[in-house]
Amino acid sequence: MAQSTHASSPVASCSESRSMRTLRVIAYVTTSIASITFLIVVIWATVKINQVQAAIEESPFGQLSSLLAPTAPTGPSQLEQFCFMYPNATGC
Query: Could you tell me the pLDDT band of residue 82, with boundaries at 50, 70 and 90?
Result: confident
Query: Is residue 75 domain-resident?
Result: no
Query: Is residue 88 domain-resident?
Result: no
What is the domain count for the chain?
1
Task: Output the average pLDDT for the chain.
Answer: 80
The residue type of 76 is P
Domain extent at residue 28: 10-68
- What pLDDT does residue 92 have? 79
Backbone angles phi, psi at 26, to 5 degrees: -60, -40
Query: What does each C-alpha distance from 38 to 9, 10, 46, 47, 52 come to in angstroms?
Result: 44, 42, 12, 14, 21
Query: Is residue 35 domain-resident?
Result: yes
Q: Are 68 and 77 in contact (CB under 8 A)?
A: no
Which helix (H) or strand (E) segment is 16 a member of?
A: helix 10-58
- At 50-74, the pLDDT tens digits run 999 888 888 777 666 555 666 666 7
